[in-house]
Chain A
Amino acid sequence: EVQLVESGGGLVQPGESLRLSCVASGFTFSTYSMNWVRQAPGKGLEWIAYITSSGSPIYYADSVEGRFTISRDNAKNSLYLQMNSLRDEDTAVYYCARGWGSSWYDYWGQGTLVTVSS
């Protein structure tokens, strides 16, 4: 059974950093691209970052480019999102999602909540 389990969310102040993790199981992690998608409270879905199975290329949404870094460790079946210079508008549930190439997302984690507030 495919499972994606995110962790690392929490309450931080504006300007601070946070690192999210997503541990995968039930499939060969090293052969799939991965994504981070977020959802602000009561709002819709926003794709924010993508990484191929090998780790390159990487793409970001403009809203996080230069502040967030996506990475992966295929030996640990893990995906990461390093978030720096956090802003109030980064408050959201962050999902990791398995990608079929650069197309659809066939499995999603349960999400981890990041709250940025002073």
Chain B
Amino acid sequence: EIVLTQSPDFQSVTPKEKVTITCRASQYIDRSLHWYQQKPDQSPKLLIKYASQSISGVPSRFSGSGSGTDFTLTINGLEAEDAAAYYCHQSSSLPWTFGQGTKVEIK
């Protein structure tokens, strides 16, 4: 099973700051890595597919990068509405797995 390890687990950030969340895979997964946002009491929402491909309707401040085993989700200019948990997800091999999540709090 491919283990995805996110860091940090928790981040408290001031609005307009840049946020960087990393996701490390225990095996090579090429670019089969996707990012989701889950706000409190809501279902997850797709943010980024295939490591860096943008999703229609998602604000441009969200971007992704990486390939192989190391990936990054960046939020350029955090806004109050971005308070949420963020999860990476690999679709390279079964069983498909998620990272443990990173909670972003607004200071």
Seen from chain A, the residues whose Cβ lies within 8 Å of a Cβ on chain B are 37, 44-47, 50, 59, 61-62, 95, 97, 100, 102-106, 108-111
Contact = CB atoms under 8 A, between A and B. Distances in A.
Interface residues of B, number: 23
Contact of B49 (A95, A104, A109): A104
B46 A45 contact: no
Contact of A45 (B50, B87, B95): B87
A95 B44 contact: yes
Interface of B: 32, 34, 36, 38, 43-46, 49-50, 55, 85, 87, 89, 91, 94-101
Given A47-B95, A100-B49, A108 B44 contact: yes
A104 B44 contact: no
B34 A103 contact: yes
30 contacts: A44-B85, A44-B87, A44-B98, A45-B36, A45-B38, A45-B44, A45-B87, A45-B98, A45-B101, A47-B95, A47-B96, A47-B97, A47-B98, A59-B94, A95-B44, A97-B44, A100-B49, A102-B91, A103-B32, A103-B49, A104-B34, A105-B34, A105-B36, A105-B44, A105-B46, A105-B89, A106-B46, A106-B55, A108-B45, A110-B43
